[in-house]
Chains A and B, each alone.
Chain A
Amino acid sequence: MMNALDRRGFLKAASLPCFAACSGALIGARLAAPLFASPAAENDEPFIREAKFYEKLPYKKVKCKLCPRECVIDDQERGYCGVRENRGGTYFTLVHSRVVTAHIDPIEKKPFFHFLPGAVAFSLATAGCNVNCKMCQNWEISQVRPEQVRSTYVPPDKLTGYARENRCPVIAYTYSEPVVFAEYVLDGAEAARAEGIRSVVVSGGYIQADPLKNLSAHVDAIKIDLKAYSEKFYKEVVNGELKHVLEALVTLRKTGVWNEIVYLVVPTLNDTDGEFQGLARWVKSELGPDVPLHFSRFHPEYLLKNLPPTPIETLERAKAIADAEGLHYVYIGNVPGHPAESTYCPHCRKKIVDRTGYTINGVYLRHGKCQFCQTTIPGVWS
């Protein structure tokens, strides 16, 4: 069966165990409230929409124009993401409104540290991803085809309704890779905006410029997981190319939509001083010093279970290098209680958002300015 949940079904489902992996942050997994648990969909029809970003080629082939791969796809075949299919020369997304997991998360879990501190986000995902990171924490939903995981039909109006019922001012498209369900994000964000609910996206940033600009016009913030600052890492660990993500970050910055960057520090693979320094210099020169940069702690998962968690000293070294390069907001993530979870005014150095894990202990801002020295702090604060 596959139906949009009514209120009773929704509440009943909320008491059931989560059937999909939660976000990478361990503390967050305890906080998360599982919202959906339904039988697998019996047919694909409700989820199928013609894709927005592709071109038709001779012999019923199509070329996907959503991400930099530009998959050329034969009839009856799917692209690298596994959630878009060529049917007779027309390209379809198979995951519109096809939600495989949903939770109410603190916005800090995404993480967004300069976007409505303390807000809760109705957070959801469909199946699929357009890269294959060996350290993926959510591979059970990101690295599968939609028919291989249980799903629930949640059209945009229902999604907005769930957010409102749960007093979530934000809807977050997260966990897997929202780029591959871009059509759903666009429709969902449009419906949410009409209801005064904001939308944020958590993405690997592997997306072409046009769909990214389109997305940016509809949502309120985008967090990019920059996996490394080396092409070698992207080739060997991500199965992608760094240059495309850097281009996307620049495009994103130009759109003006709020963005933050997360860099998951993986021991021995992307944790050299040179990489941290190169990253920080690039961010400062291409995006500016005010883009928040989060160095997050890796935990062994998926195909990298052989590596240990990131030593905290490594994260502190990364932060020190980025601070020294002149970035204003450098954070350490997935280390609950670390002082670098909090936000400090770059001018007076006083703590202006006090955090412990995902808990907000205090916000010392007034109209987006440090209440101690009146320095404007970039972000979306209200």
Chain B
Amino acid sequence: MLKPPAKPTRRSFLGTSLGGAVWALNLGGNCAAASPSTASEAGRSRVVVARDAKVRSAGSNFDSAQVAKLLDRALQASFNVDSPGEGWKRVVWPGEVVGLKVNCLGGRGNATHPELVEAITERLREAGITEIIIWERQNSDLEHARFKIVERGSGLRCFGNDALGFEDDLSIFGQAGSRLCQTLTRVCDAVINLPVLKDHGIAGVTLSLKSMFGAIHNPNKYHTNAGDPYVADVNMLAPIRQKVRLHICDGLNAQYEGGPSYMPQWMWPFNGLLVARDPVALDYVGWKIIEKKRAEAGMKPLGELKREPTYIATAADAEHRLGTCDPKRIEQVEI
């Protein structure tokens, strides 16, 4: 359950910010320690599931103002603070270059919504961020999802990895050996991950963890065995581990079958957002939401289709410690 928000003191503010950095560096000794304690009850990872049918305006469009309100409520609940602005200040620092990693593979029908990105951008500016970069695999992916490419200048930019390219050297962990995009390694100080709530025909689901495949040069090599352990290994690569600070999963529209491509017959109006600092916990909660919807639709569980997202448990194991997938250690807050 959500605790009443407490006013942060200067000391607690600094402490939480540093705590977030320590967590990102993966110095915690176990999954519980790896979770950001300030964002949840002690030893638990908080995942906020915020939903509101009012986000939907006429037809298939979304009301930007209502999306922003939903985002504000989700951030406030996620950080247990009086205002969403206080929450954002625990994620980013003024002067940082902040990347918004969107997921656009599904194109116009099933990508991170620009309405959500617009709301986040506005809140980041209010938090003192002046340099924001919306990025994804390729410019064409962004354009298909209604984003406008802006490669040059300052302020708000938007481009794919094809703009800056990849590091020459490999980053290696476990079974993953990849070149990381320079947008992540050289430009962004912090990243907010904005995946989509959807099914994946090979990996089971594609949420926070798998969306980081958009930061590497060779994602096509990592889909065997339903992405296990590759998804977890990629998220262990240092720049990803250190810079991704918050995950906001776009569930305004959601898809329970046929992903990652857009399949309108398997979409449903979830009208929600999932917010967490722990990507493993978010993925676990998101996976269960998709499984529930599949069951309601009379579909087999992903495990029976040999695409259970076992990489989520791998991400939580002793070798990775990226978060927790133990339901007892996940504080799911529904608003």
Contacts and interface: CB of A to CB of B under 8 A. Distances in A.
Interface of A: 59-60, 72, 74-82, 132, 134, 143-145, 147-148, 239, 302-303
A380 to B, nearest CB: 36
B177 A77 contact: no
Given A72-B201, A303-B177, A60 B261 contact: yes
Contact of A77 (B170, B261, B263): B261
A76 B221 CA distance: 16
Nearest to B107: A76
Contact of A147 (B162, B179, B218, B259): B162
Interface of B: 105, 107, 138, 162, 165-166, 170, 172, 177, 179, 201, 217-218, 220-221, 223-224, 258-261, 263
A81 B220 contact: yes
Given A59-B258, A75-B261, A302 B177 contact: yes
Q: Which 8 A-B pairs have the closest CB atoms?
A: A74-B261, A82-B220, A75-B261, A303-B177, A132-B221, A78-B220, A80-B220, A143-B218
A143 B221 CA distance: 8
Contacts of A79: 220
Nearest to B257: A59
Nearest to B221: A132
B217 A148 contact: yes
A76 B217 contact: no
B220 A74 contact: no
Q: Which of A74, A80, A143, A303 counts the most B-chain CB atoms under 10 A from its CB?
A: A74
A82 B178 CA distance: 14
Contacts of A72: 201
A144 B217 contact: yes
Given A74-B261, A77-B260, A80-B223, A148 B166 contact: yes
Contacts of B170: 302-303
16 contacts: A72-B201, A74-B261, A75-B261, A76-B107, A77-B105, A80-B223, A80-B224, A132-B221, A134-B177, A143-B218, A144-B217, A147-B138, A148-B166, A148-B217, A239-B224, A302-B170
B224 A74 contact: no
A239 B221 CA distance: 9
B26 to A, nearest CB: 22
A76 B261 CA distance: 7
Q: Which of A79, A134, A143, A302 counts the most B-chain CB atoms under 10 A from its CB?
A: A143
B224 to A, nearest CB: 7
B264 to A, nearest CB: 11
Contacts of A75: 261
Nearest to A128: B220
A148 B162 CA distance: 8
A302 B179 CA distance: 12
A59 B263 contact: yes
A143 to B, nearest CB: 6
A145 B138 CA distance: 12
A74 B221 contact: no
A143 B261 CA distance: 24
B177 A74 contact: no
A300 B220 CA distance: 24
A303 B179 CA distance: 13
B217 A80 contact: no
A139 B177 CA distance: 11
A147 B221 CA distance: 16
A94 to B, nearest CB: 12
A144 B261 contact: no
A282 to B, nearest CB: 26
A74 B201 CA distance: 8
Contact of A82 (B166, B218, B261): B218
Contacts of B260: 74, 77
B168 to A, nearest CB: 8
Given A143-B218, A144-B179, A145-B218, 10 more contacts: A60-B261, A72-B201, A74-B261, A80-B220, A82-B218, A82-B220, A148-B217, A302-B170, A302-B177, A303-B172
B329 to A, nearest CB: 32
Nearest to A239: B224
Nearest to B265: A59
Contacts of B105: 76-77
A60 B172 CA distance: 35
A148 B165 contact: yes
B159 to A, nearest CB: 14
Nearest to B260: A74
A302 to B, nearest CB: 7
A72 B220 CA distance: 12
B304 to A, nearest CB: 17
B302 to A, nearest CB: 16
Q: Which of B107, B172, B221, B258 counts the most A-chain CB atoms under 10 A from its CB?
A: B221
B240 to A, nearest CB: 19
A361 to B, nearest CB: 40
Contacts of A76: 105, 107, 261
